[in-house]
Amino acid sequence: MDGFWFVRYFLGLMGIFMTIDLSIQKRDFYFSVNTFEIKSHQNELAQVNSSLGRTKTGLPVSSYGTLLMNFDTYGISVNVSLKQPGGDYILLVSKKISNICPYMEMENRPMDLAFLLFNEFKSQGHIPKCPVKKGTYFIKNFELSPELFPPYVPEGSFCIEGTFHFRHKTKLYDPLLHYKVVGNVNTQRNIFQLKPILVKGVI
């Protein structure tokens, strides 16, 4: 299947279903995570580790990190790619939020994937507020929810990759942290995938 047709098809569905109340629509797919990596580019400023756990529904992601200095602001970048069986990865979403602090307490945040993921992180862990204080932060047992996506997502592989960057006065640490999640979009669960995996991290 032509890759550009696939991109247009998927983005068209996103546009249609983002205008509908997604919570009332049934999902016949789920996300399974195969690998999760997070690393620090400067261990003297940040130390992190990560793991995949095990639940009845899948392999939740957990990550713990310690910031060793205070920062004024921070931001996030997100790149989402999908791959059909036998094809290559196609970049669907690329978003960078230079400073996420103004959005931290907003009730009506922009409805795009970067903010939706950030909201999920916030609800399932302890993430930095602004200004950022040194200390330990975490995301525990995070699973990518189908409710964040249109009701119809084709099977295939996905890769979510990006960075966290931090600013202290005029100094920008970009990137300070780098993360990568690789997995599959499936319509039927494979019980043999529910095997705990420890993945790469630096602590």
Q: Are 158 and 186 in contact (CB under 8 A)?
A: no
Q: Is residue 62 part of a domain?
A: yes
What pLDDT is stored for residue 177 in this prediction? Answer: 96
What pLDDT is stored for residue 191 in this prediction? Answer: 46
Q: Are 37 and 201 in contact (CB under 8 A)?
A: yes
Q: Is residue 27 part of a domain?
A: no
Q: Which domain holds residue 182?
A: 3-17+35-193
pLDDT digit string, tens, across residues 79-123: 989 887 778 888 988 889 899 888 776 666 555 666 677 777 777
pLDDT digit string, tens, across residues 26-59: 667 788 888 889 999 999 999 999 887 765 556 6
Nearest residue to 52 (alpha-carbon basis) of 195, 197, 160, 184: 197
What pLDDT is stored for residue 92 in this prediction? Answer: 83
Q: How far apart are CA 195 and CA 173, in angstroms?
A: 36
Q: Is residue 202 part of a domain?
A: no
Q: Is residue 74 part of a domain?
A: yes
CATH code assigned at 130:
2.70.220
Nearest residue to 186 (alpha-carbon basis) of 7, 27, 1: 27
